[in-house]
Structure 1
Amino acid sequence: MTIEDKDEADKCIEIAQTAFLSGNLEKAERFLLKAERLFPSTKSKEFLSRVRASASSSSERKRTPPSSPSASNEEVRRRKAPNHQAPQREYTSDQLDAVRRINTKCKDYYEILGVTKEATDSDIKKAYKKLALQLHPDKNHAPGASEAFKAIGNAAAVLTDPDKRKQYDLRGEEPVQTTHSHHQYYARGFESDLTAEELFNMFFGATAFPGGGPAAYARRRQRSPSPRETHAGLVQLLPVLVLVLLSMMSGFFISEPVFSLTPSSKYPVPRETVNLKVPYYVKENFHTDYQGSLRRLEMAIEEEYIVGLRHACQRERNYRDSMAWKARNFGDSKQYAEAQKLRTPSCEKLQAFHR
């Protein structure tokens, strides 16, 4: 087994997570089995067991008739509502128990995530991922699922931030009564800078729920960037700033051309090459400052001049052919004759050098 196999297995697990959240248990199981073949791991085995348990639970619910005397109170509650009421979305007793545990029984962030105070950053992230898959409002429709999902998100955001976790451990938890009928325990001053849905997307990717999640999370709150985010932005801009600085500095080391093919205030002195008699212009101090080979310089001048003539000749021919094509296309014989008479001075000069 290679690193490539492990990477491919991780991709299969991510696809399986997305399929599981969307309710496609068959696809999730298929990709988890593929991950096991590529690179067996505890993560894929545990996830596969949970997927198969969910599939088994779903099959049992389908086989149990609605009027069965063994139906539980929760199953009776999920029966189809009368026509004048909106139908309630289904949920399992396990999902409801998970929501109730977080909303009514947990007293601090560690208890919410089900970890100890000695838990590592990796342990906290692993616990959050497991709970997020159970409590996301798009998957868990039990009452209070949204509040529980926010709670685990806030807990993970605080405990995975070293500074916030240190302050939280020093100050401890502080009970706060919410507007709900039950109590939720948070710590004042330790709310996350991210929304629960933003944190979820950081762990699972923005494509975990293509629809963008429930309407409760559709609006993202506006917030000022934290010092850490500002610092990260500056670090990302650093390579660009270095490139700009180097390009500016390179201008100081590039000397001006010795000659010009056109006269100007910098190149007012006319000269002519010995071989092809190509006119060029130099600075007033050319005779005293230039220390190189004059023969090589004039060879370079002649080469640049001929290359320029070739380009100009090609443009002149293209223009003449274009005018002739238009005249022929519109049946204008007079315009066609004029197009044939168009001169190409650059081509004439180029031919003169080859005689």
Structure 2
Amino acid sequence: MDSNKDEADRCLDLADQCIRDSKFEDAEKFARKAMKLYPTKRVEEILARVSMLSKQNKKSDPEPEVRKRQTTTNKENSQPHVNVEYSKEQYDYVKRIKKCKDYYEILGVTKEATDSEIKKAYKKLALQLHPDKNKAPGAAESFKAIGNAVAVLTDPEKRKQYDLYGSDEDRMQSAHSRSTHTHYNYSRGFETDFTAEELFNMFFGGGFPQQEFYMRRTGGRWMRQTPDSQPQHAHREQTNGYTAFLQMLPVLLLIVLTMMSSFFISDPLYSLHSNAKYSVERTTQDLKVPYYVKENFPSEYQGSLRRLEISVEEEYMINLRSTCYKERTYKDSMAWKARNFGDAELFQRAKNMDTPSCRKLQEIHA
């Protein structure tokens, strides 16, 4: 019974091909043969489809006799597709590919297979499924399937994504196939950059008159290149490098100027706060403001000491006024909050709050 079923499936595939070629009589013959071998619902659907298409063809054809003569002439001048012979082994290859659920099964390798094992499996199948050699129905589709498989599984990034998300899609596609009798969708969102024929030539190195060969980019994408195109490619890379340098030139100049400016900017002459660099304390003559200088200040500074002390006092007064403003603002906000909430204790604390910077300002202006 299994052999009858396989032969029936082969007849139905031939019937489908005849329907696509508008050869409805041949399609009906193959469908009726499949009905005798292994009757299924699919056989009934194809027979009904052939009958309907035949009637539509007769109604829409204004010159049936002329069309019949043309068809006869075409049959005499060219060999019909249904008469093309192929071996059972070739058809078995196509049939096996159609039943596969994922790329690993298509190539007949495990999920742990290396790149060399995957490429070796592809080469073996490609020689059996190439359309120039295998004329079985579905051979072209199967040839594309193994091309997609090898392109995805030899690309590290695509293979990683396929391993992560392939299983769920396989189950969804398998359920859909059982319900609608459609073939497995071999692309499944993983598109290749080249056709199946180009992939074949990548592995077998033939078919291109200009002796093209392929290199693989760092990102995993295939790049077609010829010996004539190598100088152009090198020139293009050189031009791109020069353009990138020009784009980066302003940034480089800015970095260099910043580094150079750091050599010309000297340290301040003094500091209002003591630290390791400014450790020697001095006091201005007028306001008695303390400030700090370096140890080598007496020998290094040759300017006017009076002008320097005026700068120290001005900076000191600016800082004092800023601090006094902050102290008064905080005191007023606390008093407003106390009045707003009726908190007598908080109001008293705000009233008694000390403002040392403001007090120093008053002492200086007194």
Alignment TM-score > 0.5, same fold: no
Larger radius of gyration: 2
Greater relative CO (CA pairs within 8 A, separation 6+): 1
TM-score (norm: length of structure 2): 0.35
* Higher percent of residues as helix: 2
TM-score (norm: length of structure 1): 0.36
